Amino acid sequence: MKINKVAIVGGTHGNENTGVFLVNKLKNALPEYKGLKLKYLLANPMAIKNTRRFMDHDLNRSFGIKELQNIESSEYEFNRAKVINYELGPKGNPKYDFIIDMHTTTSNMGVTFIFSEINKINLQLACYLSEKNDSLNLYYHPPESKDVDSDQPYLNSISTFGLPLEVGPVPNGLLRHDVIEITEKTVRDTLEFITLLNNDSLPDFPDSLEIFQYIETILFPCDDDGNITAYIHKDLQDKDFCQLKQGDPIFYTVDNKTIYFENEFPMYPVFVNEAAYYYQDIAFSLSKKISISTHLT
Ligand SMILES: [Zn+2]
């Protein structure tokens, strides 16, 4: 298996400026990499111009087969998804073998590699990046349906291999030196991994990896009018990927009461207090830590 063409994408969400900045920087600084053909893409130009996550619909939820095939839709992002699918895809048989999609988060996620698909190359990349950065987090969000082949709506789902990257915490709409630096390093490490893969010179990797697998989404408590009635408790704030046990505080209510975690089994919160999810009343997600074999064929 050789990977020849790599797409490096920023601005899938128009208010995540790090990826936009790095696309503009790297397309000049790094037009190619050791024989790899690179394509730089700003995914959502209208949202970038307006410093908004999206105009009509979340672009990173617009790449399902159904959305891509719907010729009736007039929403800006559904049209952008079709253009990007034409340029990088088509989904399932893509021109670009590997997509790096750079995101940021307001949550304290550090550098997180989000698996949209578990396969040998993605797992080897996870091992490689973990060795380059020992605080790297690995997060797997399985398809909603139990069917392993079920369709996913993410930009990265155009290609089988890739790196959906989340770095934070950083507020929307601004640039932070440390976040730019670690994102750029991770992109460069990924390109180096691909050249090692192509030359059959990857180092040996451990037999298994620990990853966090998504379990469920926790919503903010709301009143009958849909107003949020509690916020994230200070003890949970910034505790992404830290163990959450029964009896730990999770919310603090409008009438000054603490709400505690009631789950019998310990879990690991992810995307705690992510600003972009408030419009859906999402407070955080729960994941469990699992060990996964790296010996997939
Ligand atoms: Zn994003």
Span from the CA of 175 to the centroid of ligand 1 (angstroms): 14
Span from the CA of 109 to the centroid of ligand 1 (angstroms): 13
What pLDDT shows up at residue 146? 52
What radius of gyration, in Å, describes the C-alpha atoms of the chain?
19
Last residue of one domain, picked from the residues 173, 189, 205:
205
What pLDDT shows up at residue 249? 98
Span from the CA of 192 to the centroid of ligand 1 (angstroms): 24
Segments in the chain below pLDDT 50: 148
Residues 183 and 280 in one domain: no
What pLDDT shows up at residue 145? 61
Residues 285 and 239 in one domain: yes
With tokens 């994230």, the residue in question is 232
Let me know: does 294 contact 207? Beta carbons within 8 Å: yes
Residues 6+ apart with CB under 8 A from 24: 42
Residues 167 and 242 in one domain: no
Domain extent for 255? 210-293
What pLDDT shows up at residue 11? 98
Residues 119 and 258 in one domain: no
What pLDDT shows up at residue 150? 73
Residues 182 and 253 in one domain: no
Let me know: does 271 contact 254? Beta carbons within 8 Å: no
What pLDDT shows up at residue 32? 94
Span from the CA of 16 to the centroid of ligand 1 (angstroms): 6
What pLDDT shows up at residue 149? 57
Residues 84 and 173 in one domain: yes
Residues 232 and 124 in one domain: no
Tokens of 240: 């992404």
CATH number for the domain harbouring residue 233: 2.20.25.160
What pLDDT shows up at residue 116? 74
Let me know: does 51 contact 14? Beta carbons within 8 Å: yes
CA dihedral sign, ordered 203, 206, 207, 212:
negative
